[in-house]
Structure 1
Amino acid sequence: MDKLLLEMEVVFIYKLIIVEDEYEIRLGLANYFPWKDIGFEVVGQFENGKECLNYISKNHVDTVLCDIKMPVMSGLELAKVISESNINVKMVIISGYTEFEYARQALRYGVKDYIVKPTKYSEIVEVFNKIKRELDSEQYDEMKAQSKNETIYESGGQGDIISIIKKYIKENYKDATLEDAAKIVYMNPYYLSKFFKQKTGKNFSDYLTEVKMKKAADFLKNPLYKTYEVSSMVGYKNPKNFTRAFKKFYRKSPREYVISEK
């Protein structure tokens, strides 16, 4: 695995949440700043700390950019809960309040940086470049540690990993995720994604979709199942998204597919 790790150019994209009670500022931070250029993807926008906390308790997030003064739950209160709960997320506070006390409390709760409004473009870039370097370092350290773990390779080598992943997808296609697959084989999700593509020629998500669509086709052959029921059975909450994915895969809508199979 060491050799493979060296040969692969890994580009990490980190998940970021924007928490700001003022709509225009929240929208501007989320949509008008080129986050992807510096390695981040905005996966959520919330107007108070409680909404953010509810989200990160159920979803993986790498970084939170948060206002300090908000209704319901402030940025400082959110930072305190994150710190006391040992949630692994890096937090940056942004505020118009320049009093040292706010900054001191924020740092006490493990906040990585403190940005004062009106925020300068260059300051955001500098702060998040620094955070990305820190996150990259952690990812590489984790990947190197995993590369020394010979347990899976002793049981059958790299091909065995692919077999394990494919078996996991086959048995859990409805709710399968890259993150859960990575846990099964003791690998970093970013590394597993690259590894799977290199060994199979397909992206993990594309392979998962392929399995879902083939299962859906089998279900559709049963006249007892409606399209919306099949959609749910293969893990799509929205039947329209399922129909779109099915048509893209088979070049036919579910209805057209059923008719063609009669």
Structure 2
Amino acid sequence: MYKLLIADDEDEIRNGLSHYFPWNEVGFEVFGQAANGRDALQFMAQHPVDVLLCDIRMPIMTGIEVARELSQQKSPTTIIFLSGFKEFDYAQQALIYGVKNYILKPTKYSELLNVFTTVKEQLDERQATSMRFPPSPPAAGAGLDEDSALLSDKIIARIKRYVAEHYKDASLEGASQLVHMNPHYISKYFKEKTGENFSDFLLKVKMNKAAELLQEMNYKFYEISELVGYSNAKNFTRAFRKFYGKSPREYRNTE
């Protein structure tokens, strides 16, 4: 989940945005609220956030002043302005400080959804890029491609280790949280780097473990089913037969 700070001097609007929009479904967590720009900056100094949804006109410190300060700090926080004012000069100032998203009051559900869906995609891509190409310089004699390949190997190795250790409950969502990438992106990334779908790899690990357990006579079939993540023994038997060409019982009797 990306962390979101909502700054607006109107309590009703601030609380309404915080509690009545399904942020979690879009990939965000409301990490805090602020009643003015100064409070927003003070909060962010102690609790960094990924996105600031900020009213453009607030007492003490305006949204424009907040954007200017964050720009000077070279902050990576994405800023989205929220305002009932349509004056062109405000939008123009926002562009100077890198603010590209501007939502008008009263806010519409569809507009919030569209803007934050796009921002989430941008954050996912930024995160993936930073993992592929870390800011630290490569070692002497090593090129960027070599450095990127090394990092890629580490990511894949970490995902495979996660599956090997947590095969019972492992999932694409769990893997994506582990390496801080979007599940859809991880699915394509894993396929691209290994030539194998994540779901096929997970199934292979489950079935290999099941075959290993079947060679130990003290485990009953339903117990093995549960140990590799199948609550329904029939589903386990069906998956095992499809993978090995024989049922768990036949496998135990022939191996």
1:247-262 equivalent positions in 2, closer than 5 A: none
In structure 2, do the counterparts of structure 1 residues 85 and 122 end up closer, same or farther at CA, with 3 Å as the change threshold?
Answer: same
In structure 2, do the counterparts of structure 1 residues 131 and 85 end up closer, same or farther at CA, with 3 Å as the change threshold?
Answer: same
1:124-203 equivalent positions in 2, closer than 5 A: 124-145=112-133, 148=148, 150=150, 191=179
Between 1 and 2, higher relative CO (CA 8 Å, sep ≥ 6) is seen in 1
Question: Does residue 62 of structure 1 match 2:47?
Answer: no
1:1-12 equivalent positions in 2, closer than 5 A: none
| 1:11-45 deviation line (CA, Å, top 9, x unaligned) | xx110000000001000001111011111100000
| 1:129-168 deviation line (CA, Å, top 9, x unaligned) | 11111001111112223583749x99xx97xxxxxxxxxx
Give, in angstroms, the shift of residue 67 of structure 1.
0.3
* Amino acid across the alignment from 1:37: E
CA contact (8 A) 1:66 1:93 kept: yes
In 1, Cα distance between equivalents of 2:19 and 2:128: 29
3-state SS, counterpart of residue 43 of structure 1: strand
| Residue number among 66, 76, 92 corresponding to 1:78 in the alignment | 66
* Amino acid across the alignment from 2:28: F
In 2, Cα distance between equivalents of 1:49 and 1:149: 42
In 1, Cα distance between equivalents of 2:180 and 2:15: 33
Cα RMSD for the two superposed structures: 2.8
Q: Which runs of 5 or more residues in structure 1 are unaligned?
A: 1-12, 159-187, 195-262
In structure 2, do the counterparts of structure 1 residues 106 and 131 end up closer, same or farther at CA, with 3 Å as the change threshold?
Answer: same
Alignment length, in residue pairs?
Answer: 152
| 1:158-189 deviation line (CA, Å, top 9, x unaligned) | 7xxxxxxxxxxxxxxxxxxxxxxxxxxxxx99
Structure 2 match to 1:111: 99
* Amino acid across the alignment from 1:148: S
3-state SS, counterpart of residue 88 of structure 1: coil
| Residue number among 19, 22, 32 corresponding to 2:20 in the alignment | 32
| 1:75-106 deviation line (CA, Å, top 9, x unaligned) | 11101101111011000000011111111111
Q: Which runs of 5 or more residues in structure 2 are unaligned?
A: 135-146, 159-175, 184-255
Give, in angstroms, the shift of residue 47 of structure 1.
0.2
Structure 1 match to 2:29: 41
3-state SS, counterpart of residue 114 of structure 1: strand
**Quick one: percent identity of the two aligned structures?**
44
Larger Rg belongs to: 2
Structure 2 match to 1:120: 108
Question: Does residue 52 of structure 1 match 2:40?
Answer: yes
TM-score (norm 2): 0.54
CA contact (8 A) 1:15 1:61 kept: yes
CA contact (8 A) 1:107 1:113 kept: no
Name segments (4+ residues, structure 1) moved above 4 Å.
none
Give, in angstroms, the shift of residue 108 of structure 1.
1.2
